Chain A
């Protein structure tokens, strides 16, 4: 079982719709969770992070965390063609005084005009 799993996609949504991206993780000791957006040929860009169970909203983005079920999701409301990118989920846990970070392989999102 992979430590962090994401559906590779592509996930296709029409412009204006809600895109829902999911990520599951295996380590129950995981403490912090991040979503990065990566455009083709570019480096990952941090868009959201969440530490506690529940929802966290920032503009059109909402991160949702459920530690009991070991999943974290990212909702993108009013999806735009410029949101078309690969979205990487990253999970951190404390390991011997330092933070171990594991990335998922990403979900490719395509927003269709």
Chain B
């Protein structure tokens, strides 16, 4: 069974640009959550999607947005990038959001 797939693995952007990250969950999983991980803050919850609806949202500015498609694949968009957005962005999928989550390998975003 394939795991959670995130693309791309690495990204380098400059301030002010925008970026879109992609996540394909484990087959059959309908819940997709996004996290930001930095050395100082640890794992911070961004949002969760279930059946194409955002079900839960963390405390991040509106520059961070996401969506989920009918096949449960999800995308996360960050607009007007700032230096502080440099982080590892992790996607995790779960059968229904109540079962344990499994993480993808992440996208490492660097802002220059």
Contacts and interface: CB of A to CB of B under 8 A. Distances in A.
Nearest to B31: A99
A98 B90 contact: no
Contacts of B106: 43
B65 to A, nearest CB: 18
A46 B102 contact: yes
B42 A99 contact: no
B97 A105 contact: no
Interface residues of A, number: 21
B103 A98 contact: no
Contacts of A45: 103
Given A42-B105, A43-B106, A44-B90, A98 B42 contact: no
Contacts of A88: 42-43
A87 interface: no
A91 B105 CA distance: 21
10 contacts: A32-B98, A42-B105, A43-B90, A49-B100, A95-B56, A97-B55, A99-B98, A102-B45, A103-B35, A105-B42
A106 B42 contact: yes
A40 to B, nearest CB: 11
B74 interface: no
Interface in A27-56: 32, 34, 36, 42-46, 49
A98 B105 CA distance: 25
A72 B50 CA distance: 28
A106 B42 CA distance: 8
A97 B103 CA distance: 22
B75 interface: no
Contacts of A44: 43, 90, 103
